[in-house]
Every structure is written in structure tokens, then in C-alpha cells.
Homo-oligomer: A and B are copies of this chain.
């Protein structure tokens, strides 16, 4: 008989609702309880799926039926909730980032290890069909040894400056996904980071101590040279592409678009812009992510993005900031 994983949802905001819907499409999982500090949010999701709800995550952790939790609450609660969930013996899926502070991350990872539970970090891009196809081509040896990896990652519009001030800055808030992508695609670890950056989109971002435009060079242990370019504002939409070049060829992916039509007129040939932002682009990836979390727990297999995968990009992000501040290449070993 097929096992059904009983899941509790902590946090019923935007991403929590996305994950709840994803769970409904997984035959081997069942949502059994939800919570949110805003009781109205918890109520809406609870009613939709006809499950109990509350405003307190302890109700979920204390529910013996709950085998696994999805931590979708605000970022500052992630590390603490991981620790509590681990102590309660729950399997854990947690949205990224674990924390902006390495010591807090390490405290959380230690709790997970001690409890012997699994922790999967929601690096949704690893589950995107395009990036997976690139990864598959690399793993299948179709490009041979990787020499150069290029990642384009640009948001359609910057977040509010108030958010930026508490975000850890572009390298911990935005590039951190690209650092994960680079580690995912190379399967190797970063040795050195160099960054050129600028404030080009909005001076207010600079006044908040952040930058909005950057080119980041990563030197990997396996010899791959990686370059990431980031911008807080691509007016044509969310620009998420990678290109991996190696001894036997190149594999790259273009952006998804809402349609595949094109219009030819006396003026030009026009085609649709990329999907607007992460919810549009990664909706399928979120569903795949939750499905694979459930499968890993049910089957006892390793999670595709674990605690160490949550920690490494933060270290790279700290090195990136150091490079910006000191105007030189920075070794990862300088951060640890």
C-alpha cells in the first residue's frame, strides 16, 4: 500500500498557498493542519482544504499526526522554526534563506543533525524544467568538461527600499539564488569571488547601502569560470537564463514566455516578453519541488537541496560583499 505523508503548513501567505495547492496534486501526501500568525490567512487556507487551522505553529509541531512541516513563514523565523520542528521530530521543508547570519544557520543545521530528521531548502529554481534540462545535459556529458558558466538573473523591478534595507542586500537577497544555481550546475564549490557593482537603477538603493547592478565572477574548485550578471530592473520582465560551455559543446536556456506566437507587420516582427516574475516563471517548479520533498521523505532518499546547500550561498554572498567593499578578489576561505 502506498504511504501518505501527513503534512503541516506553517505560514499561509503567498508562497504557503502555492505549496498547499502543490500538495493537492501529490497523491502520496495529505495536508492535515495549517497555521499563520494572521489567523485570517490560516482560516482561508484551512477552510479551502477542510483542515484545522490556528495562529500558532506549536499546534502543528505538537500534532502527533503531522510527519512533515513546510516552513513558509517570514525569513526571520526560519532558523528558529527549523530548530523547533527538528526537536519535535518532524521532517522539514523550509523556504530559503535559512538565515542571513551564519551562526544562526549553523545552530539550525546542528539541531537538524542531532534530531536525525531531513531538511530540504526550497531552492525552487533547481526544479525548473529549463535548468533541469541544462543540468541533465551537463551530467550526461553532452558538453564535456565545463569551462565557462554564465548566469543571467534580472528582476523585473526592484523591491521597496524598506525591504532592501533588511534584505541583506542584493548578494544575500537576490544573487543567493544564482550562487545556488552555479553550485547546482557545476556540482562543485566556489573558491574565489570577485564583484563589480554599481547603482544604476535607483539612487535610493545606493543610499540604503545596497547596489542594484552587478557582475559576479566565481572561480570553482573544478576549474569552471562562472560569471553572473544581476540587475534589479529588467523592464522587459524576469530574465533568467543560463549558459554552460564546455569541451564538447554548449547548453543554454532561454526564458519562458506566456505564448509562442509572433506577429509580422510592416514595422517589425514581435514576440512575447518573458513571464513577468518568479510566481509566473516558477509555478511548475514549486509543484515539482513539493512533490520531490514528499517522495524523498516517503522513500527515504536524500533531499535534492539540503542544509549545506542552504548555507553555502550565504557564505558566497558574504564574500561578494567583502569583494565590493575591498575592491579585490576574495577567497571563500576568508569568510569561514
Contact = CB atoms under 8 A, between A and B. Distances in A.
A88 to B, nearest CB: 28
Interface stretch (A62-70, A94-102, A193-201, A302-310): A193-201
A272 interface: yes
**Residue from the set A219, A225, A260, A261 with the largest chain B CB neighbour count within 10 Å:** A261
Interface in A107-159: 129-130, 132-134, 137, 142-143, 145, 147-148, 150, 154
Given A223-B198, A264-B273, A235 B217 contact: no
A195 to B, nearest CB: 9
B269 A236 contact: yes
Contacts of A223: 198, 200
A234 B245 contact: yes
Given A148-B229, A194-B217, A247-B201, A142 B263 contact: yes
B272 A268 contact: yes
**How many monomers of this chain does the complex have?**
4
Contacts of A271: 268-271
Contacts of A328: 328-329
Nearest to A256: B260
A231 B154 CA distance: 25
Interface string A225-243: 1010101011110010000
Contact of A235 (B148, B249, B273, B329): B249
Bin the interface of chain A by size: 35 or more
A83 interface: no
Given A215-B227, A263-B142, A235 B253 contact: no
A273 B269 contact: yes
A235 B264 CA distance: 8
Given A130-B260, A215-B225, A270 B273 contact: no
A189 B43 CA distance: 51
Given A134-B261, A213-B225, A266 B254 contact: no
A165 interface: no
A15 interface: no
A310 B289 CA distance: 40
Interface string A198-225: 1011000000000001110101000101
A272 B132 CA distance: 13
A270 B267 CA distance: 10
Interface string A173-205: 000000000000000000000101110110000
Contacts of A196: 194, 217, 219, 225
A142 B265 CA distance: 8
B272 A270 contact: no
A252 interface: yes
A117 B50 CA distance: 32
A30 B154 CA distance: 39
Contacts of A250: 234, 236, 239, 263-264
A239 to B, nearest CB: 8
A255 B250 CA distance: 14
A147 B266 contact: no
Across the A-B interface, the 9 shortest Cβ-Cβ residue pairs: A249-B265, A236-B264, A253-B261, A133-B261, A235-B266, A268-B270, A254-B260, A133-B259, A250-B264
